[in-house]
Amino acid sequence: MNRDGSRMQEKSRKMAMGAGSRRRHNSRVRRTAAALFLIPLLTACSSGAASVTTDATEAESASTEATALPSHLESGESVVADGGNYYTDGTIDTGKTIDWAAVKSQTPDAVAWLYVPDTDIDCAISSAESDTGAWLDPGNNASFTDPQTIFHGSTKEGAALSGIMDYGDSQFFSDHPDLYVYTEDGQVMTFRVFASYEEQDQDLLVTYNCYDYDTFQSYVDGIFTMRSMTANIDASMQTDVLNNWQILTIQAKEDGESGQDFLLQATLTATGTAKAGADGQ
């Protein structure tokens, strides 16, 4: 059996293991929510309170907080909560849409399009490895439902992912938190960046079985606690990343003989229909 075939077989085994882990994780979330609800209820009962009164101002404030948009979504977007994730069921304005007929004519095996604002990364993601292009890891599916999806490429000059090195600058990292993945069905996914760093080249899908939540949590915790002078980490994102359980890793092989990769990692924050820019592109 070839390498890709072996990895797909291993992925099927991990998916079966991960189903139970996802159920346990969701059960823990539900139990935590129930506990938070019961604490004030039990407190009221133990004090012998005969009735509960609510100040109108507090009620209005609570209502506003409950319906407020997460900071990474724009006013006017319709939000649906699903576990730790936030999704829009409307449109997402990225300033562009993708002409898939043109994309397919140039890259027949394209499965997605990656756009990172203010960088040179604006390219097709193919299902086949190439010297200067960007491609989906053969262990991932093109529906982007895996707990970790990996895009591969190179940082060498002229390569599709060379612009990823901009995220090595801490100011650029802070100023450019979002990247976008388009699919042929007209959908666009927004991912929020939480880490960029260098490390030795490795097969991440084989090393970390992220279908198992405990493994995923340990992997993510390791990223947020790493000690590296060249790493950029948004510490405020750790809880969101763990709750969302769905990350995108851009793994670009650095030019030269160092054996190092530059990694940019982001968590899914929204899905919706791409809104055309002013020029329709």
CATH architecture of residue range(s) 1-276: Beta Barrel (2.40)
Q: Which pLDDT does position 13 carry in this prediction?
A: 56
pTM attached to this predicted model:
0.71
Q: Which pLDDT does position 93 carry in this prediction?
A: 75
Residues of the chain with pLDDT under 50: 27-70, 72, 75-87, 278-281
**Segments of the chain assigned E as strands:** 79-82, 85-88, 91-93, 110-115, 122-126, 134-136, 148-154, 178-182, 187-200, 232-233, 247-253, 260-275
Q: d(Cα 26, Cα 233) in Å, to the nearest integer?
A: 26
Q: Which pLDDT does position 17 carry in this prediction?
A: 56
Residue 232: other Cβ atoms inside 10 A: 19
3 state SS of 60: helix
Q: Which pLDDT does position 60 carry in this prediction?
A: 46
- 93 has which bridge partners? 275
